[in-house]
Structure 1
């Protein structure tokens, strides 16, 4: 970092051995230099994201009864009450590619494979997988070269590339929603420590390994490696930018502390010491999710990427959520057969996922950027490719759009579309807002209307 604030570029980073920390949006950044990295008027860049939850929803606890700005916060949406004005609930959208179309069972695998592609995946558990390119990767082809990472693929459960996971469908379909091409699923990063290192690594493998080894040996913060650069910059910034930088450094250090804490030796239920998890993945799902959400916020804040996808769990996940008192498997509960008990348990899981997503929205809302917040410059889809898990239907999906899209989205509403409206209509609209010159995507019939 050798530039003065008067010539500070959006691409400026603080450097140290094996470390390169990108800066958040600062007022001191020259508008003329920002033009190449942001929109044509120098405003903050637009980000897109896609967050997937498995096994559908308990729809009575999701869908508002009222449309428009006065929509009611249902039990699941109540978990997002802090951000009521920042979300748009979109009803009636449909994922035709996830339907059987003569292929029989496998709705869970199809729901993930089709969620971002709009394609109908070939039914196979062999090497001859065939899907479509996903909206995140299609958009990255247009704007991915503007950031360090064209896109990020994240989740809480690891991806698989082979095996039979759902009624003859390959595990590649069930555990990957991002596809670079028809035969190229993009594996997810699930380790928050590994993701942190990717975001703040140096320019060479040798430097990165050296810095990581020294940090672990002396328990240093990654910020210690850029202290001199940071001190020089801080001294010349206006007070507003100093505050922004201090908040940003605090967020980085907070994530580091929590990463370290998640790897410490603990006691199991029998009081016997557990060994540290070698992968760096926390044992508790909430802790794992919240760390990953903080990393998502840092990735957006530093403009390391503008496009990412996130899977809470893989398709058909039968994970039990004991930390919230749900001891039965999620997939088994989703086949509720109208059981009131099972539906109540599904609603608890849905609320848990919504709470985790709410953590991300809160983090993005607190980050000031331009004349608003980072969340104001986002378009983040949250939902599932299955509506009711018992019916395995793929129409009237539970879809939520978070953020104001840089002023392009009139949020804080429930918008009901004609049932059967392609979900890909939304994706085509989002692609065009990102600057992708696409005439159609998936099974789109045009851009989705009524968002602005």
Structure 2
């Protein structure tokens, strides 16, 4: 343990022209002779959460492992998570009951995605949407209140003019947002990585100054060069190395964003590709995951949601080996060849998730790494999307929550016995948020923690 005569405040920022640079946790921020296990990044003191939404379920026969328990073999879709086995929990058999149609409310299968983190049934009303508070916002209220941004909401696809009535009389709010701080307030997603970067590292300058900032060819770090040099003089070698790694991550993300914005198709002259949004989907996914990682690394935020797409998305993903549209391919007709093609799209998104998890695992954090202090929930509200079935939804959970959540498990529940809202209730327990119910829950999920 490094002992210093005085410690640096945890909320230390380096400020320059138009820049506020938060710093990662450093040992120099400890009071003299404070054990690492008692720090802000020690078990029980920092818990993070990421909720990731994807539409259109998963290809039947390609997602669920055949074995239950800890000796399971990863399926074709989940195989990219195998190197993270000790932090992975897969769940088979949960139903998104709040997304299912009823005799009174038929149809609307693509209008109830906001059930993911609320466990609640969206009210069919295009004028006055009503859902329920989502777990990401509950966690942000408890664990993110001391950070610059209690939560961040990211997405990939622009909702465009999707307002009012979207599908079967349901408000478009249910398709545009999975994060609700109140039952009537959906939080918008930010799809532009440049805007996310400015929100994380900007200082609230005027609109004109932000336009100038976007045209800058240098780095935001250039604005704080002298501050960085001066700051590094007073910290030990280990902290200097950690700070250098963090600054390299910031610079690399900024470089990639600048490459995107320097291209003609991202100049702002095209309505389809707003200023700063990658034309390449693969680059878009990765840079958004990287922005969440750096926000966690600097403790700017501890809660994030990420919408990988919107219901009825026609986006395609050539890197996966199949170039068909997302929604169209999900209607596989139960034809083996079509299901195999759809499984490639599903696997592609799990590969990106594994990329994100590896990045978090490589960021030191207190007595471990960031992956040790987070729970990532990637899910959807459909199982077999061809049949619009809201049963047997695929659930992927990754992270440690400071040892509270054991990995290397495949949990399997009998048909029609457990629902996703029961799991949400159990997730909240991991964050010391104990409720009697959430949404349409009937109890806690057996064997979850």
**TM-score, length basis structure 1:** 0.89
Matched residues in 1 for 2:151 and 2:272: separation?
A: 30
* Matched ranges for 1:365-444 at <5 A: 365-419=361-415, 420-444=417-441
Out of 208, 224, 227, which is 2:225 matched to? 227
CA distance in 2, matches of 1:391, 1:38: 47
Q: Which residue of 2 aligns with 1:12?
A: 12
- Give, in whole Å, the separation in 2 of the partners of 1:138 and 1:312: 22
Q: Does the 8 A contact of 2:265 with 2:273 survive in 1? A: no
Q: Deviations over 1:133-161 (max 9, x none)?
A: 21112333333422111211111012466
Q: 332-341 or 148-157, which moves further after superposition?
A: 332-341
The 8 Å contact of residues 120 and 438 in structure 2, kept in 1 or not, is answered as no
Tell me, in whole angstroms, the C-alpha distance in 1 between the residues paired with 2:404 and 2:101: 35
Q: Quick one: which of 441, 444, 450 aligns to 2:447?
A: 450
Matches of 1:390 and 1:243, distance apart in 2: 51
Structure 1 range deviating more: 390-399 or 431-440: 431-440
Look up the match of 1:281: 277
Measured in 1, the distance between the counterparts of 2:199 and 2:38 equals 24
Query: Is the deviation greater in 329-338 or in 314-323?
Result: 314-323
Map 1:272-421 → 2, pairs under 5 A:
277-419=273-415, 420-421=417-418
Distance 1:283 1:161 in 2: 21
Deviation at 1:130, TM superposition (A): 2.1
Equivalent residue of 1:429, what SS?
helix
| CA distance in structure 1 between the partners assigned to 2:187 and 2:156 by the alignment | 15
Q: CA RMSD in A?
A: 2.8
Q: Give how far 1:43 is off.
A: 5.9
Alignment map for 1:14-413 (pairs within 5 Å): 14-30=14-30, 38=40, 45-102=46-103, 103-110=105-112, 112-124=113-125, 126-159=126-159, 162-202=163-203, 204-206=204-206, 210=209, 213=212, 216-217=215-216, 219-265=217-263, 277-413=273-409
* Contact 1:9 1:33 (8 Å CA) reproduced: no
Per-residue deviation, 1:37: 8.8
Alpha-carbon distance change, 266 to 339 in structure 1, aligned in 2, over 3 angstroms: farther
Secondary structure of the 1:399 match is strand
**Closer, same or farther: CA 165–212 of 1 in aligned 2, 3 Å:** closer
1:276 shift after superposition:
11
| SS at 2:110 equivalent | helix
Q: 1:263 to 1:212 in 2, by over 3 A?
A: closer
Instruction: Mark the CA change 1:121 to 1:257 in structure 2 (over 3 Å): closer, same or farther.
Output: same
Distance of 1:434 and 1:209 partners within structure 2: 41
1: CA distance, partners of 2:223 / 2:21: 10
Change over 3 Å in CA distance of 1:101–1:319 after alignment to 2: same
Greater alpha carbon shift after TM alignment, 43-52 vs 140-149: 140-149
**Contact preservation (8 Å) 1:19, 1:211:** no
Q: Which moved more, 1:153-162 or 1:373-382?
A: 153-162
Identify the range of structure 1 (229-238 vs 346-355) with the bigger mean alpha-carbon deviation.
229-238
The answer as to whether partners of 1:35 and 1:42 remain within 8 angstroms in 2 is yes
What displacement does 1:387 show? 0.8
Q: Which runs of 5+ in 2 are unaligned?
A: none
Change (3 A) 1:209 1:44: farther
Distance in 1 between the 2:138 and 2:158 partners?
23
Shift of 1:215: 6.7
Match of 1:414, SS? Answer: strand
Counterparts of 2:36 and 2:209, CA distance in 1: 33
What is the distance in 1 between the residues matched to 2:139 and 2:184?
A: 18
Tell which deviates more after alignment, 128-137 or 384-393: 128-137
Q: Any idea what SS the aligned residue of 1:198 has?
A: helix
Kindly indicate whether the alpha-carbon contact (under 8 Å) linking 1:214 and 1:220 is maintained by their aligned counterparts in 2. no
Contact map agreement 1:9 1:34 (CA 8 A) in 2: no
Shift of 1:287: 0.3
Give unpaired runs (5+ residues) of structure 1.
none
- Decide whether aligned partners of structure 1 residues 275 and 442 sit closer, same or farther in structure 2, where only a CA change above 3 A counts: closer
Give the 3-state SS of the residue equivalent to 2:166 in structure 1: strand
Name the SS for the 1:280 alignment partner. Answer: coil
Moved more, 27-36 or 291-300: 27-36
Q: Is the 8 A contact 1:378 1:405 kept in 2?
A: yes
Q: Distance in 2 between matches of 1:33 and 1:86?
A: 26
Preserved contact between residue 95 and residue 394 of structure 1 (Cα < 8 Å): yes
CA displacement at 1:274 relative to structure 2: 9.2
User: How far apart are 1:93 and its partner, in Å?
Assistant: 2.0
Q: CA deviation at 1:437?
A: 4.5
Using the TM superposition, name which of 426-435 and 25-34 deviates more: 25-34
Task: Compute the TM-score of the two structures, normalised by the length of structure 2.
Answer: 0.90
